[in-house]
Amino acid sequence: MTVVRPYTGPDPGHPVTVVPSDPSRRGALVRVRGWEVAVADPVGAVTDGRALDEAADELGWAGPGAAGPPFTHGLLGFVTDDASAALLDLDTVDERPAPAPLPPLWFGRYTHAACQSPDGRWWVTGASDADADRAHSLLVAAARRHGRPRAPGRVGVVGATREEESARSTLSRAQHGAAVQRIHDWIADGDVYQVNLTLHVGARWDGSPRALARRLFGASPSADHAAFLHAPGATIASVSPETFLRMDGRQATIRPIKGTRRRAEDPVVDRALAEDLRTATKDGAEHVMIVDLERNDLGRICEVGSVRVPQLMELEAHPTVWHLTSTVLGTVRADLGLRDVLAALFPCGSVTGAPKRMAVSRTRLVEPWRRGVYCGAIGVIAPGLVDLSVAIRTAVLHDGWAWYGTGGGIVADSDPDEEWEEAMTKARAFFTATGTAPPDG
């Protein structure tokens, strides 16, 4: 039984407000196919691949989807990049620090949700009438909070003295340049073709997690996979534009992003930057390399002849950047479960490099921190629905700090200075949200 009812109570305000502030309630908000889905109070959680597979099968993940709200009940959570070690048969012992002590995999089992449609109307859903009533209570509680004044978030970097403080970085500009050169050496030796090099920028944050999430959401309103989760060990706020996996029945869709230029206020300059990205040989080669990797990954689990690329290297506009995106489709074989699909595709090739296994192993040698949930996946699994993002543009709040992952793909002709600037461009929403400047270097 599934219950869907229109909500007719007082205005709950911004969707982020619907997420309870008490982290122990494991409240979350995820944008799914244009809808805002808010949940809280899971009845349990799955924390390993086998349990995830069983729970997804019970929900009927590969069955027909329902009209209306995309999520009425099911699983909502994340897979961190740390899980890639086991999937790629790498050494799972990794002593590098991480931004926060998150489990490798966590999906809460939610029996109800409050869902806002693209036209702004709220709906309450659940596996029963009682569950739908719980979703209604979430919205009523949010409406009470909506009228209260919000305390602004306060930021700071230890030891900073300037008016606009600089964010901290896990790699200095010089260290980043040395890492690019090391990757160039691996490429010259024939070990890899491309390696995605990442770092974390961070700022003190003693305001509410909701305040940071609202700022990030406001800076990136077009993020198809915006998310805000009180997870075990940390709070996550993501404004990812990238689809890791969307399943409609057995039809799999991947939309890798590879290639970035900053946006400009001057329309003429802005269009010139977009055209430069569209025609750049280096970005095009980098992008096609990743599309080929994704086609190969899908080919391992899809029906013969079903994998295709209907859209290749399309320009996509976002508030702070231009991106190159492609769409890769395939029909997953009927004998495979969701665990098989994730094992074949994770982590997304756009955040690894190629060949995938070798590229991931090499990132451990040049990135001083583990990535954590950054470059992992965030999203939902429900009856007739799998919708997971690539967890880029993602901040993790833990122990008074907000950490935000950024980076880019390194190929043979990558310029270290340009790669650093691209990484900082991708973090502009974070700098704006936290009131910090990019790292000095």
Positions marked catalytic: 242, 258
Question: What's the rounded Cα separation, in Å, for the pair 345 and 356?
Answer: 10
Question: What's the rounded Cα separation, in Å, for the pair 41 and 335?
Answer: 34
Alpha helices (H) along 189-327: 209-219, 267-279, 281-299
Pick from 17, 39, 15: which is nearest to 26 by CA? 39
Residue 116 makes CB contacts below 8 A (sequence gap 6+) with 15, 35, 36, 38, 122, 123
Helix/strand/coil percentages in the chain, nearest 5: 30, 30, 35
Tokens 């959680």 -> residue:
45
As beta bridge partners, residue 353 has 195
Q: Note whether 347 and 373 are within 8 A (CB).
A: no
Q: For 66-223, list the strands marked E by DSSP.
A: 74-79, 105-110, 112-116, 122-126, 155-156, 168-169, 194-205
